[in-house]
Structure 1
Amino acid sequence: MQRSLQKPYLGKALRRASIAGAIGCWAGTSFAQSSVTLYGLIDSGLRYTTNADKAGDSRWQTMSGGASESHFGIKGSEDLGGGLSAIFQLEDRFFTNSGTTDPAYPFFNTAFVGLQSTTYGRLTLGRQLNPFADAVMRTYITNPWLPTVYQFRPEVGMAQGVWTSSMAKYAAQWHDVTVEGSYAFGTTGAFGAGSQIGASIAYVPQGPVSLAAGYLDARDAVNGSAHFKAWTAGGTYTFDSTRFSLGWAENREDPGFTGNFPNGPYTTATLTALKFNNFTERTMIFGGVTQTVGAATHLSANVWRTLQEGKQTSGDGNATQFQLMADYNLSRRTDVYIEGDYAWYSGGLIGAQIQGFNGLSAAQGSTQLGAMVGIRHLF
């Protein structure tokens, strides 16, 4: 999804360097306006986490992206005339500590090309955000001024990896309503194995209330008859500089489901290590309050409640997670942040990765305390 459509959950536009030019047609009688934009974000933080391993040890570590995953990208468009444009986007996610690409993702985590019409909507092909993730991030995402994924955002794990490969996605907007539909083609095994379908609807008016809902259905990459299904719904209410959000998400796995790789971001072995294949049903209710103070400060308080039914009794469990965060803009492109989180886990959710992604240690005990400070720069 193009960054302009992500404005409701980014909270502020990235300042980008743009290169614009005109390309003439072969006959030289008309011109198509084209533009290419280079953009990015570099984030690095220091985090302290308790119960980071089975021995109960605490851990200090530098984080390559604490409030936002570090990334750079290039995107562009060409005006084809008659309200039709060709569009593309490429984006890589990397670790600031080592300068290497995040191994959880392909080199270009976002890679799509498509057509956008002022009348008929937008069609894109490639690796991109799925409709479930788009619905949440347009409306009731926690800490909406931050990009899609960061260290402690549990709801992203409910969106089947957020990005999907081999996807064809169509989006159309009527006034304040945006609808999306997608199909990701399976790349291994029998026809349909590893495929995914998705749909969402979002109502984002100028007024105080925003609402959205989304759905995904992924088929196992090997056993195509097994499904992983996800639903979400929620909304926000904004009063002056205060925003209240509330969301619900549910995941259901068939007994034979082992993974959706390579369309999803993780192999079966990785999903098993994260205990993501241990449940038949996982339900999360989450919400928060965000307060903007002046033009430079964001404050937020968030809570997540998760209930799980395991494929075996040992997989049953629940979790309650809390977070406080403050972010201060030193300039239009540079900000500093401080974050704290605390959680209780029981049963099959001890050791499960439901805090977020990008190297965060899953709790190996019934409680976990985390604290983080960092700085990020946007370009």
Structure 2
Amino acid sequence: MKKTLILAAILASAAGTAQAQSSVTLYGLVDAGFLHSKVDGQSSRNALDSGIQNDSRFGMRGSEDLGGGLKANFTLESGINVDDGTTTGSGLFNRQAWVGLSHSRFGEMRLGRQFILGSAFFTSIDPFGTVFRQAGIGSTVIAANQVRNDNTAMFFSPNFGGLQAAIGYSFTRSGQEVPGNANNNRAVTTGVRYNNGPIEAAVTYDRLDPGTGGANGISTQVGGAYDFGVVKVHALYADQRNIAVTAGTAATPATSVPFASNTKSYMVGLSAPIGAGRVFGSYQKAKDWDIKGYSVGYTYALSRRTNAYAFFSDIDNLGSRASVRNDIGTRQAGFGVRHMF
């Protein structure tokens, strides 16, 4: 009887240890507010919209300690529209869906649907976090516009004092692979970032090899930010070649239009803390697409997980990306609340 009790205690202890070595976390973000949009020559749009500061989403992430510094990890994340309860895009986990292995000394490998590095590495270099609708740098830098690739194998190096490199390959960036490599839209994403103390910097290279032939789409980006304490300075430069884009904004439907095959884009911005809030702004321009404009924003922390926000943005030619200079302005103004859990 005594031996049986001892064995039961050992088994219970082992089960508790195994459970402590695995974890699954449910997380999410809920964002909704009022958005006013006006394109020159068109009627204005006034709406209660979801995901103005950040896209609303929910997800699960987890890890299991396999021993010896090795872990199994996964993330499943779905975008949602708070204003009508629908999902964003097709598929249940349309934002991220990947599984992988990581090691404390050798880095991490992820397999599945993931953000390209042109988007992932510039989130905090843009004072708007690459979001806030047209205010984010995605208006002039396509690779930074919250882009994700399907069917991607991505490797992240260990972090060496704030320095990290990564490279990924997509067997076809959207949908399922079909027989013959030349029939798939393959993609490469690679980059290096540094984040330590007041300095943050990144360089990325993204390339799309279209299965239908034609020139490869290439986006090379370099940028950084320096935090002086009282103010943070942000800057970015991008060289974009043969980027196939479709016109369209939150206020106008997407339509195919002529566009310049190559363009040089840049952004300069500032951000500064003000009490429990933060004010920020930027100017961005895509030279050969003739897109240019400025944006300003403000967030106020109501708690550690909840904040209110407001922003205004005025950008010319956002809906065209054409080489023709038509100076059609698009203005957006909005305010709302964001809660993270």
TM-score, L = length of structure 1: 0.75
Matched, 1:235 2:224: yes
How far 1:335 sits from its partner (Å)? Answer: 1.2
Q: How far is the alpha carbon of 1:370 from its aligned partner? A: 1.7
Partner of 1:279: 260
**1:158 matched residue in structure 2:** 142
- The reply on whether 1:134 has 2:115 as its aligned counterpart is no
Work out the CA distance in 2 between the residues paired with 1:351 and 1:258: 9
Paired residue type of 1:31? A
1:151-300 alignment runs, 5 A limit: 151-156=133-138, 157-159=141-143, 162-172=147-157, 173-186=159-172, 187-188=177-178, 190-192=180-182, 193-206=184-197, 208-223=198-213, 225-253=214-242, 273=255, 275=257, 278-294=259-275, 296-300=276-280
Q: Deviations over 1:116-170 (max 9, x none)?
A: 1001000000001112222212x522234xxx54413442352175211100000
SS in 1 for 2:85: coil
**Distance in 2 of aligned mates of 1:88 and 1:127:** 11
1:43-58 superposed matches below 5 A: 43-51=31-39, 55-58=41-44
Give the equivalent residue in structure 2 for 1:267.
none
Question: In percent, how many aligned pairs have the same letter?
Answer: 26
Per-residue deviation, residues 9-40 of structure 1 (Å, max 9, x unmatched) = xxxxxxxxxxxxxxx9xx97973700111111
Of residues 306, 316, 320 in structure 2, which corresponds to 1:351? 320
The change in CA–CA distance for 1:161 and 1:47 in structure 2 (over 3 A counts) is: closer
Aligned length: 312
Q: Larger Cα Rg: Structure 1 or Structure 2? A: 2
Q: Gapped runs of 5+ residues in structure 1?
A: 1-23, 260-270, 309-316, 354-363
Q: Report the equivalent of 1:369.
A: 331
CA distance in 2, matches of 1:199, 1:221: 20
Q: For 1:37, give the aligned amino acid.
A: T
Structure 1 CA distance for aligned equivalents of residues 148 and 331 of structure 2: 29
Match of 2:285 among 305, 308, 312: 305
Q: Which amino acid aligns with 1:205?
A: N
Displacement of 1:235 in angstroms is: 0.8
Unaligned 5+ runs, structure 2: 1-10, 247-252
Which shows bigger deviation, 230-239 or 332-341?
332-341
Inter-CA distance 161–282: structure 2 relative to 1 (3 Å threshold) = farther
How far is 1:188 from its partner?
3.7
Contact 2:52 2:131 in 1 (8 A): no
User: 4+ residue runs of structure 1 moved beyond 3 angstroms?
Assistant: 27-32, 349-353
> Is the 1:158–1:250 contact (alpha carbons within 8 Å) kept by the matching residues of 2?
no
Going from structure 1 to structure 2, the CA distance change for 1:111 and 1:299 (only over 3 Å counts) comes to: same
Q: Normalized against structure 2, the TM-score is what? A: 0.83
